[in-house]
Homo-oligomer: A and B are copies of this chain.
Amino acid sequence: MPTARAAIASDVPPAAGTAGRDAEVPPEQRILLAAIAIFSEHGFDGATLRQITDRARVNLAAVNYYYRSKDELVRRVLERLMGPIQARLAALEACEAAAAPGFPTLEAVIEAMVRPTVTLSRDESGGRPLIRLLLQVRALPRPETARFFQERVDPIVERFVAAIGRARPELARADIFWRYNFALGALMQVLTDSDPSLLRLARQSGGLCDTGDDEAITGQLVAFIVAGFEGPPAGAR
């Protein structure tokens, strides 16, 4: 049995437009990209290896050659989910660096949380499927993904909570945790909704809300979330 070489993480898009030259992207990566796309559309269970290999233009057996099994392929796809979350962390660190030696404003922190994810979700070939997958993982938690999030996402949550706490020292730490999760939910909700196959909000509002407009989404989200954080604590009314 020959040994399959390790995959090299890279974000080269599948070059949808340049259908002429194919040999650019190696099969191993084509499989991973196809898997992300198919998984995001049909779910991990609903997706078929034959669907994936058809899309990747490789033989069926290539999946078991490069990745050991479907489960292993799923695991490799899950690792890619860190991309959107790490982009969020990078944006936070950038805005903290920009504000040094002081601290970024609440609005800047929230924008660091929102904007990278919104931007990412515009990339139909790369980011958008990842966002869809993030939602699926949330909706159907597997034991493995729970551990995955705990280890790699929780520290980033803590970073944001700390940054918000510095911008609004009067807020109780518990309240910040609550509201950060609410903000995350609002963000994911509108990104789900802005999927071209859904567009519920745009339809509901009779076209008043343009979920295709990055600046509109970001602006609306930041305004809502900042106001939410600045409100009185839960017991105060």
Decide: A224 near B220, CB < 8 A? Known: A177-B205, A186-B185: no
Query: How far does the Cβ of A226 sit from chain B's closest Cβ, in whole Å?
Result: 7
CB <8 Å contact, A220 and B198: no
Q: How many copies are assembled? A: 2
| In the complex, chain B residues whose CB is within 8 Å of the CB of A223 | 231-234, 236-237
Closest to A236 in B: B223
Decide: A224 near B139, CB < 8 A? Known: A154-B203, A204-B154: no
In residues 168-199 of chain A, which contact B (Cβ within 8 Å)? 173-175, 177-179, 181-190, 192-193, 195, 197-198
A interface residues with partner B (beta carbon < 8 Å) = 42-46, 107, 132, 135-136, 138-141, 146, 149-150, 154, 157-158, 173-175, 177-179, 181-190, 192-193, 195, 197-198, 200-201, 203-205, 208-209, 216, 219-237
